[in-house]
Structure 1
């Protein structure tokens, strides 16, 4: 794979109704209904809204045989009204349901974690090699007849692995790891290949973007080793809503799309399903702009491991690089001086010198090198026209703006002799990721340990567009271990404090710097038996000031306990109008009435000493 030049991974074509996926077909967009699949009218109307928004596949939960059978009526009603969208049945726990659904849906999703294996219970089980082989035989015996039904009905399947629902069998041998997720998928793929069933799509998801990206990278490599080229479905599970959901989804999905991985995507927002489609479309369209871009002559550094990257080694310059958290540099080029107290940048670049009276406390300022006067908490920035100035400057922190194509031997020599220089990587190419990567790999090859801040320049007038584009541009760089700092400059009609919020949101979505409460919330589906959106709003209203706390808000048990494995607290649907509360992996209280559950969650947080008033 070429790290620096964009091209899509070559995959086989999967026929899903009248909308094929993979090969040279466009990256497809999809969503999932949150209606009861037994409510034909509601499901049909919501599916129509998804299609009208631009969705190309619609998935519905089929928790039982009656729901699977009702797909027939939903399909008939949609086609009667001229909607030919392929339907995807989402099956968990009961393989018999998958057998029925394959007769009425164009694609059936099965979850290897609970298709035959018992659902994840967090029990530590031990398997001998013989016992493990017998369990694999059980999968074969149940899975092969299902493939025969799919062949007969021309039904595609999706093997959908979720981090939150790995089986105890996989957990016992591989632990809660990307390698375990990959093997869970490969066990089923090998049977498909053996049975000559190639109408297969794969997804391998997590709410943790780092786990999600690394696992898909590993899966693509594992398939390559075994000469498989199945198309990939991408998504970040339980991404949340609002700004957080958009940034987390764009960062995780965008990191993979940037490397040509992905043939269909679903942006999982805790909002109405049709709201997911425009976000997904913007993300795909933005990545498509990289097609046929100007060639980037990058060379991969020998010590870089794409499948298991570590943070690039740098020498700290002030609070930048080394073991420090990545910094946020913000721009205040005009009169905009408002700074959000929760998202206060580490540095503010103004270019021109500004007097003490106009500076914010607790922030360091960056002025152009010829404007810098050597005052405390101020630092000079230089471009390539002022290399003599940067060498003669006595500042202990210096910033140098440079694009990769101009990274000459002279500049690398200056960087080697001046470890106090922080490189600000800039680019104007459509493939920003490729050019930023090329610069970092050049420095790694040269053995240079100067920290790098990525300068990302936009001209957006809508916050959502900035969230999607900037997160997509930073995703692969963060996952590669290149994260000493981020510098977002937007010259459109968006307030600087909102731009700062996006920058901090990107770092949090990439799991490298926490600035607020993190919510792991699912988008809801027909299994959700309470009002998810209003619940999320109530939980956020009570806890959004608890910086660093992770709270899971999950509609049901399919992925709930698993995806919340690294959450501090969890709120999980247990039945109609009933909720169970978790502390970590442990269920503390079951079947609480929904109207009492939020108050009891707050009480649980307080009882464990993790709550403090909002004004502290």
Structure 2
């Protein structure tokens, strides 16, 4: 089974298993992989979402990570994926927080209980097709809004304007305006701190309820409550209230149901259960059943020691839920002081100067890979083989350099004519090796130009993009006045 789209890949394998069981009464061993996943962070994230989602389902016997990089960079990604399941059989008997000690973050208060994941008689959604969970439309989140990104600044001692560059906002002092990127966060969690300057209108601050009570400008902030703290709160926001819920707590579903008619509630769902994704998915299923339509932010914390492992963890935990239509936003968090290796192995493209930028990049990359929020160009490229007729890594990097600003366009870079046209079926445009030094260019599945000299093929691809109305000249992001 092959697809470069993790969503199609996951649904296809699930359908295959159902068909085998219905027709033969047996399921043959399955080999998993997201074909032509590409390179860099995107290739790793797409692979982790597709393969990891199925491994979480208990599907898969062998795996292959397909990167447009030297082959020695593929195996570590496979190992990081597989080792997540080496202790999975014993996870149900683990004590609370046995997967890394007590949590102590915005949505992981120390002492939260771990519960067994209860069975469910009927899955209240189709795992064979994408349909986003219906949620209430609130200001900037839920309903038809694209999934949001929460930037976590809880551990920051102080927040300056320059710190927001890491999450997509660059301040221009001369004009007193903000430059907003395509991958700019929507909310920023500050913990117990207030921000001492005006934010752009597209960025909403969230703080602990106790800190919110002390603010003079409460209308600019969103309070965050820990579970039942909301019931006891005497003073609340009239517009938005965020509530952190532990999916492993037996009372979370009842609490959510009791708030189902409150049109200010956003649920930030995390879990203290060692089998995290399944725990969160089970609670969201219960919200389906009880018709709770509060928007949901998926809060995922990684305690892994390397950035490589964290990339796999975030992609699997959040990506699997997004593929099933669950989640109106993502909130990734970690403790940068505990990270031993702070650089992604192999080729990288996204600037990562600090941990905030890593989390923001990863959040938008996960949304891009699950096709739930498009913020940049998408690339489909093969890992190369003996049939490859040009330097695939160099050409992929060259094409990325001149097309990375084409938000929403899917470009395939394929090494040969044998598998290329079939495996790039999801692309808008294709660059395919068709002979020594020769390239064939595609618009969708249509051949547009054959036998293009590889020396000028990238320029010819740009002309094709222009002729097709898909090209825009690179421009700086607009400046926006601070609130």
For the aligned pair, the TM-score class normalised by the smaller chain equals 0.7 to 0.9
- TM-score, scaled to structure 1: 0.64
Shift in Å at residue 417 of structure 1?
A: 3.4
Structure 1 or 2: larger helix share? 1
1:324-343 matched pairs, under 5 angstroms: 324-333=145-154, 334=156, 335=158, 337=163, 338-340=166-168, 341-343=181-183
Q: 1:342 to 1:309 in 2, by over 3 A?
A: closer
Counterpart of 2:245 (choices 402, 405, 408) is 402
Report the counterpart of residue 268 of structure 2 in structure 1.
424
Which of 220, 227, 241 pairs up with 2:39?
Answer: 241
Q: 1:215 to 1:391 in 2, by over 3 A?
A: farther
Following the alignment from structure 1 to structure 2, what is the Cα–Cα distance between the partners of residues 306 and 610? Answer: 33
Matching residue of 1:352: 192
Distance 1:608 1:229, change over 3 A: closer
Is 1:412 paired with 2:256?
yes
Aligned pairs for 1:255-334 within 5 A: 255-294=53-92, 295-299=116-120, 303-333=124-154, 334=156
Mind listing any 5+ residue stretches in structure 1 that lack a counterpart? 1-203
Residue of structure 2 equivalent to 1:559: 419
Paired with 1:395 and 1:458, the residues of 2 have a C-alpha distance of 33
Q: Deviations over 1:350-384 (max 9, x none)?
A: 11231341745531111111222454442111002
C-alpha distance in structure 1 between counterparts of 2:248 and 2:54, whole Å: 25
Aligned to 1:211: 8
Contact 1:383 1:400 in 2 (8 A): yes
Alignment of structure 1 residues 174-189 onto 2, 5 Å: none
In 2, distance between residues paired with 1:376 and 1:302?
Answer: 40
Give a deviation string over 1:245-270, Cα, whole Å, max 9, x none: 00000000001010111111000000
Query: Once superposed, what is the RMSD of the aligned Cα atoms?
Result: 2.0
* Equivalent residues of 1:419, 1:449 under 8 A apart: no
Q: Where do 5+ consecutive residues of structure 2 fail to align?
A: 93-115, 169-180, 340-353, 477-483
Aligned: 1:231 with 2:52: no
In 2: Cα distance, 1:528 partner to 1:430 partner: 43
For the Cα contact (< 8 Å) 1:235–1:252, is it kept in 2? yes
Structure 2 residue 313 is the aligned partner of structure 1 residue 473: no
Residue deviations 1:390-437 (CA, integer Å, cap 9, x gap): 575133111100112335275134322313211111112221111101
Deviation at 1:220, TM superposition (A): 0.9
Query: Which secondary structure does the structure 1 equivalent of 2:301 belong to?
Result: strand
Residues 1-20 of structure 1, C-alpha deviations (whole Å, 9 max, x = no match): xxxxxxxxxxxxxxxxxxxx
What SS class does the counterpart of residue 293 from structure 1 fall into? helix
Residues 369 and 389 of structure 1 are in contact (CA less than 8 Å); yes or no, is this contact kept in structure 2? no
Q: 1:301–1:442: 8 Å Cα contact kept in structure 2?
A: no
**Which of 393, 405, 409 is equivalent to 1:533?**
393
Question: Residue 454 of structure 1 aligns with which residue?
Answer: 298
Match of 1:434 in 2: 278
Q: Aligned residue for 1:366?
A: 206
> Who is 2:101 aligned against?
none
1:474 and 1:412 map into 2 onto residues whose CA distance is 20
Deviates more, 1:385-394 or 1:427-436: 385-394
TM norm structure 2: 0.81
**Could you tell me how far apart the structure 2 residues matched to 1:288 and 1:322 are?**
38
2:407 is aligned to 547
1:589 to 2:449 alignment: yes
Deviation at 1:460, TM superposition (A): 4.1
Aligned 8 A contact 2:303 2:334 in 1? yes
SS in 1 for 2:197: helix
Q: Look at both structures and tell me which one has the larger radius of gyration over its CA atoms.
A: 1
What is the aligned partner in structure 2 of residue 108 from structure 1?
none
Task: Point out which structure has higher relative CO (alpha carbons under 8 A, 6+ apart).
Answer: 2
Preserved contact between residue 546 and residue 612 of structure 1 (Cα < 8 Å): yes
Aligned residues: 413
Match of 2:222 among 363, 379, 385: 379
Q: Please give the alpha-carbon distance, in whole angstroms, between the structure 2 residues aligned to 1:263 and 1:433.
A: 20
Superposed displacement of residue 318, structure 1? 1.7
The aligned residue for residue 250 of structure 1 is 48
